Amino acid sequence: MPNDLSLTAERTIELIDRDLSFLAFNRRVLSLSQQSSIPLLERLRYLCIVSSNLDEFFEVRASLHLSASKSDVQNFQYSSESYINLSLAAHELVADQYRIYNENLIPAFAKKGIHILGYNERDAEQTAWVKRYFDQEVRPLLIPVGLDPAHPFPQVANKSLNFIVRLKGKDALGRQNEIAIVKVPRVLPRLVKLPPKVSKNQTLLISLSSIIRAHLKDLFEGREVVHFSQFRVTRNSDLSVDEEDVRNLRTALRQSLEHRHYGEAVRLEVSAGCTEYLSDFLLREFDLPREALYPVSGPVNLVRLNQAIDLVANPALLFKPYSASFPLQLNPSASIFDQVSKGDVLFHQPFESFDGVLAFLREAVNDPNVLAIKQTIYRTGSNSELMDLLRQAVIKGKEVTAVVELKARFDEEANINWADRLEQIGAQVVYGVVGLKTHGKMLLITRREGKYLRHYAHLSTGNYNPMTAKLYTDISFLTKDPAITADVENIFIHLASQSTLPKLKTIWLAPFELQNKLIAIIDRVAKGVKAGVEGRIVLKMNSLTDERLAYALIQAARWGVRIDLIVRGACILPAQVPGVSERIKVRSIVGRFLEHTRVFYFRTGEEESLFLSSADWMNRNMLRRIELVWPVKDEKLKRRVIDECLVAYLLDTKDAWELGANGEYTQVIAKATEPALSAQQALMGRYAARSI
């Protein structure tokens, strides 16, 4: 039985810590910033991506460990020990980041005539220009706050740039208040490009922190600046709303957003030269242990170095532009409804463009025979043609139902605004099921065809976001299959009315049955192997952190199933451990595009099953979200998905890393006699060739 399979392996092997595994993933991303074969500005971008990932990690995950370390309530997952282990790994990663920035990237930029000028590197003419810039653009927006009983420590927003200053002498009233805080407004650019007249035929950039540092004394006339440091505090930003106890979730979330920037502090970044006196002062102020202190040799916010990419504006230092082809299975000059009526359609983003989804919705909006459109909204972005098309559909008199996930982390505000705009013109806007996030990606079109109403569905492994569709690998799937579209219709009815969900014919749905269905099919493959039939499992996903599923895979491998896991990010399953998981291989692909497809393949003898999904194998996806798994039935499409999403990635010897029995990832190196193979590059070449 399903439960037997996952429980049999439990307690026989220790799983990998999910948060440490996530930090290990960021090490793999960071490695790209060191590869000389990658264009220089792209290397900088990877460095910034790691910083952005760490910001979100501290905002969401690290706070759980920190809170446990301060509390008497601790467990095997969150405790003082887990917090210390996590801090050690994070400190090592951050130290490597700044080492790469200072020792690799800065010299590499210098060779290209690109310099981020430090405080002591500017000549007289450049110093004068910076002084004028400070006086005209920066100083008017700065208000130093000297701390005393009437001026307590100011509210410091999450991830904002600030300075702490220690002063000598007395203030204007003769008091010896020695600490002052300077908050830096977010509206100021973090990098400034010097004009040609003072840059001497080079690209010269100056950080805002360097500009302010050079003129701190100007903010404190009559006082001596003894010590100072830039600092940045990261706060717990995971919104918490009791859905059972609010009348209007949208209103409650909007109110919670106002306080997100001032949650519990979890990390403090300061300059490497910050004195112990000042760092201790800040740690006390933010109630943080010393493990939360991160002294850095450079800007406290590497994310904002992304601005350098636009300021340098040198195409030779970027990846060659890739223009995705229109989905090759579709004829753009013919009706998409007619084409889908002849068979399922599948396209592989970003190698094929998201324009296929927009074209499908655009045709539906303008087709007088289309009566209703239903869609889930998770991350569409603040500017979205797709959302504008939904608004046009309402205006044209079609019934539009939007299931808007207001709790999509860090996209809450954009989704609230879209919900407002859709409701104002008459769309039916609902927020799914209380206590669950609607993460499944579904679009259902109801169309009159003669005497009958027909359904057309779009399902996707990724978001309805044209911008991320250029960067994330995903599968879009169009179908008129009556079984699949009937299931999608029933799911929409359930999300809107919260009525009892009828038994679905084809789709597996979380949180109701997905985890058990996956364990059952793993069990079926394992039992087939025990009976002497060959069994094979190949899975591709972003994360594998669900313990039941991990143990089920381990037990299946023990029974003889050969298993390949292509897991981009965190993976708690220890691979290739003798006597336990030697039949399981785990690899991670980290390349130009963010691997985002979820593809699940199971084979018992000659019987093959292939599924696509919106869900990673994480506990939250299985038990706390609305997620979809649907089958690929068409044999030609099945072979295509296996070839492009599984086989190509298992053969990758350029962007692949493999997890060893020691719990460490090692980069896969091609044999000296063979060329390195990149699945992403091969797919780019395949679709570029087919689009000519």
Please check the confidence at residue 310 and state whether its pLDDT lies above 60.
yes
Tens digits of per-residue pLDDT, 266-309?
A: 999 999 999 999 999 999 999 999 999 999 999 999 999 999 99
The pLDDT assigned to 621 comes to: 93
Domain locations along the chain: 18-317, 336-506, 510-690
Task: Report, as an integer, the average pLDDT of 388-402.
Answer: 90
Beta carbons of 563 and 650 less than 8 angstroms apart? no
* Strands 265-271, 293-296: pairing kind: parallel
| Confidence at 453, pLDDT banded by 50, 70, 90 | very high
What's 132-176 look like in SS3?
HHHHHHHHHHCCCEECECCECCCCCCCCCCEEEEEEECCCCCCCC
The pLDDT assigned to 433 comes to: 66
Residue for token digits 């981009």?
Answer: 568
Beta carbons of 615 and 514 less than 8 angstroms apart? yes
CA distance 397 to 410: 32
Q: Is 559 exposed, middle or buried (0-12, 13-18, 19+ CB in 10 A)?
A: middle
- Contact partners, residue 514, CB within 8 Å, separation at least 6: 508, 615, 621, 622, 627, 629
Spatial CA neighbour of 459 closest among 315, 307, 632: 632
Residue for token digits 């009559």?
Answer: 222
The pLDDT assigned to 500 comes to: 84
Residue for token digits 């009566």?
Answer: 371
The pLDDT assigned to 390 comes to: 87
Instruction: State whether residue 352 is helix, strand or coil.
Output: strand
Q: What is the DSSP string of 25-70?
A: HHHHHHHHTT-TTS-HHHHHHHHHHHHHHHHHHIIIIIHHHHHHHH
Helical residues (DSSP H) of 564-634, grouped into ranges: 619-623
Kindly state the DSSP code that residue 372 receives in the 8-state scheme: E
510-690 CATH: 3.30.870.10
Please check the confidence at residue 242 and state whether its pLDDT lies above 60.
no
Angle at 234 between CA 231 and CA 238, to 5 degrees: 165
Q: Is the bond preceding 350 in cis, omega lying within 30 degrees of 0?
A: yes
The pLDDT assigned to 313 comes to: 85
CA distance 672 to 436: 51
562 vs 423, higher pLDDT: 562
Q: What share of the chain is helix, strand, coil (3-state, %, to 5)?
A: 40, 25, 35
Tens digits of per-residue pLDDT, 99-127?
A: 999 999 999 999 999 999 988 889 999 99
Spatial CA neighbour of 51 closest among 105, 117, 112: 105
- Which H or E element spans position 212? helix 208-214
The pLDDT assigned to 642 comes to: 98
Lowest mean pLDDT among 129-133, 176-180, 438-442, 631-635: 176-180
The pLDDT assigned to 3 comes to: 47
| Confidence at 414, pLDDT banded by 50, 70, 90 | low
Please check the confidence at residue 529 and state whether its pLDDT lies above 70.
yes
Angle at 539 between CA 606 and CA 461, to 5 degrees: 115
CA distance 462 to 352: 14
336-506 CATH: 3.30.870.10
Please check the confidence at residue 208 and state whether its pLDDT lies above 80.
yes
Task: Report, as an integer, the average pLDDT of 13-24.
Answer: 93
The pLDDT assigned to 388 comes to: 87
- Which H or E element spans position 233? strand 224-235
Task: Report, as an integer, the average pLDDT of 74-90.
Answer: 87
Amino acid present at 434? V
Spatial CA neighbour of 337 closest among 464, 473, 485, 469: 485
CA distance 685 to 402: 37
Residue 439 designated active-site: yes
Tens digits of per-residue pLDDT, 483-511?
A: 999 999 999 999 888 778 889 999 999 99
Beta carbons of 419 and 402 less than 8 angstroms apart? yes
The pLDDT assigned to 213 comes to: 93
- Which H or E element spans position 255? helix 249-257
Tens digits of per-residue pLDDT, 610-627?
A: 999 999 999 999 998 889
The Cα-based distances of 424 to 391, 421, 428 in angstroms read 10, 5, 10
CB atoms within 10 A of CB 511: 17
The pLDDT assigned to 692 comes to: 44
Lowest mean pLDDT among 176-185, 515-524, 630-639: 176-185
Highest mean pLDDT: which of 217-231, 332-346, 425-439? 332-346
CA distance 691 to 325: 6
The pLDDT assigned to 556 comes to: 96
CA distance 472 to 231: 33
CB atoms within 10 A of CB 653: 16
Mean predicted lDDT score pLDDT of the chain: 89
CA distance 641 to 344: 13
| Confidence at 263, pLDDT banded by 50, 70, 90 | confident
CA distance 314 to 41: 9
Retrieve residue 461's tokens: 């492994």
**Would you say the CATH fold of 336-506 matches that of 18-317?**
no
Beta carbons of 455 and 444 less than 8 angstroms apart? yes
Catalytic residue selected from 439, 458, 494, 596: 439
Spatial CA neighbour of 392 closest among 425, 420, 344: 425
| Confidence at 449, pLDDT banded by 50, 70, 90 | very high
The Cα-based distances of 458 to 487, 543, 604, 620 in angstroms read 12, 24, 29, 24
Phi-psi domain of 162 (left: phi exceeds 0; alpha: psi -120 through 50; beta: other): beta
Spatial CA neighbour of 164 closest among 242, 219, 96: 219
Domain 18-317 fold? polyphosphate kinase like (3.30.1840)
- Contact partners, residue 328, CB within 8 Å, separation at least 6: 347, 352, 687, 690, 691
CA distance 385 to 365: 12
CA distance 290 to 294: 9
Long-range contacts, stretch 146-149, CB < 8 angstroms, 24+ apart: 146/171, 146/177, 146/179, 146/180, 147/177, 147/179, 147/180, 147/181, 148/175, 148/177
